[in-house]
Structure 1
Amino acid sequence: MPTKNHATRINNNVLKFIEPEFITYKKFNDVVLANELAELLDANDVKYFLEEEAPSFDPSFSYAHTKEYTVKVMPGDFEQVNELVKENAEENIREVESDYYLLSFTNQELMDVITKADEWNAFDVQLARKLLAERGNAISDDEIEVIEEKRIEELKVNEPSQAGWIVVGYVFAVVGGILGFFIGWHLWTYKKTLPNGEMIYAYSESNKRQGKIIFYLSFVGLAVAFVYKLLPLFTGDN
């Protein structure tokens, strides 16, 4: 059953402008998973914003074009939510099904789950740690902290150069194609949220600069294309 906050927060774009400080905590392709997190936050009186939306523009087209369910929280609550999710996962791992896929993972594969926890759900991360401990490879809280800090530093590295899409962006900007506008905007403004709640620009300063140029050049290209289309109306040409 949806929580009392679900109905007012999903698809509520107005709230983004009233309280713009909410930032993305987790994205889901399954509304059930999104609602589970929302219910956990409700139970602990944590403010959140649950939104159904189409995926944001990505010039690499690396994602599937499906609906996403985004749970957003206040930046100052990020660490608290991390702890709540972790504690909830620790309680749930007591009831693991005998055929759960993680049980067949090697020690190295389980370690990969822990070192790249941001790519897995909290349940799998805690279960991986429990399984390693049962196999005589326990990881202490201090070691987990070091692993998390190292992972954050890895995620701070800029995304690979978007040279190919920069070229495409310039082409569409010059010919008046609206795709150049979106490519430029994405390269210039896109940010990613780190596991600790910190938001950083995804692309290098060079890529951002090119994106900004493409963005404004697209306006010029669109204006020229618009004038070109209207010109026959003023010249009498058909």
Structure 2
Amino acid sequence: MSVNFLTFQQFNDPALAESLVDLLVDNKVAYEVEEELVAINTLTAINNELTKVYYVRINADDFIRVNQLLKERDDQYINDVERDYYLFDFTNDELTEILEKEDEWSSFDHELAKKILTERGVDVDIVKLAVISESRLNELRQPEEQETTWRYLGYFFAVMGGVLGIFIGWHLSSHKKTLPNGEQIYAYNDNDRKHGRIIFYIGICCFISWIILKLVFFNGQN
């Protein structure tokens, strides 16, 4: 049976990717690693620098378990961290934001933020963290705001018979995002997805029509 691997974490540093892989191997968690060259500055196609990104993917069912394994591993190191580590300069509000947006921070920083807050007398008990985690998941479950610009571009390129229009339609209608617990949901709202399907099929029809017209015109010239 094939395994549906999803991106669990991505790294620019191969050593960090290797550290996670070692944890997965030690705990017999199935995984795969993919390397990809990506542009550092995507705003311009001129003189773009490329960097290598390492995607570590695991089964969606293993997300919660691996997150817990990371927390247990990091617990062993947070007591030895030097006091000049940058999180010690964070305010309580900034540290609390790390707890509220765990998906945007490393497991180590999340655990250290919790430890620092506890040392400062801030209540971060298990129940409160569970509430914060569920609230964040509900926030991430919300679809992206209406993509009016991409819809207009999609219709334009689709009518022109361009492959870009087909891609935009496919992306709007089917793109999913992966939550920290491994859950996958559609990234765009129902209305954008409906427009995406329309754009996709218009793009296919126009692309085929343009090819037929070019063939007819070419044969007519001969």
Q: What's the TM-score, normalizing by structure 2? A: 0.89
CA contact (8 A) 1:173 1:180 kept: yes
Q: Which residue of 2 aligns with 1:3?
A: none
Q: Which residue of 2 aligns with 1:206?
A: 191
* Letter in structure 1 aligned against 2:198: I
The alignment partner of 2:76 has SS state of helix
Deviation at 1:32, TM superposition (A): 2.4
Trace 1:88-107 onto structure 2 (pairs within 5 A): 88-107=73-92
* Letter in structure 1 aligned against 2:11: F
Q: Which residue of 1 aligns with 2:148?
A: 163
CA contact (8 A) 1:169 1:179 kept: yes
- The answer to whether the aligner puts 1:132 opposite 2:132 as a matched pair is no
Q: CA RMSD in A?
A: 2.1
* Letter in structure 1 aligned against 2:157: F
Deviation at 1:34, TM superposition (A): 1.6
Deviation at 1:182, TM superposition (A): 1.3
The alignment partner of 1:211 has SS state of helix
Q: What are the superposed Cα offsets for residues 63-121 of structure 1, whole Å, 9 maximum, x if unpaired?
A: x9754322111222221101101111211212223322111100000000000000100
Q: Which residue of 1 aligns with 2:60?
A: 75
Q: Which residue of 1 aligns with 2:21?
A: 38
CA–CA distance in structure 1, aligned partners of residues 179 and 50 of structure 2 = 23
Q: What's the TM-score, normalizing by structure 1? A: 0.83
Q: Which sections of structure 2, spanning at least 5 residues, go unmatched? A: none
Match for residue 202 of structure 2 among 214, 217, 230:
217
Deviation at 1:30, TM superposition (A): 2.8
| Cα distance, 1:223–1:185 mapped onto 2, change above 3 Å | same
CA contact (8 A) 2:3 2:59 kept: no
CA–CA distance in structure 2, aligned partners of residues 19 and 67 of structure 1 = 27
The alignment partner of 1:98 has SS state of coil
- The answer to whether the aligner puts 1:84 opposite 2:69 as a matched pair is yes
Q: Which sections of structure 1, spanning at least 5 residues, go unmatched? A: 1-17
CA contact (8 A) 1:132 1:138 kept: yes
Compare 108-117 and 180-189 and name the one that shifted more.
Answer: 180-189
Compare 32-41 and 114-123 and name the one that shifted more.
Answer: 32-41
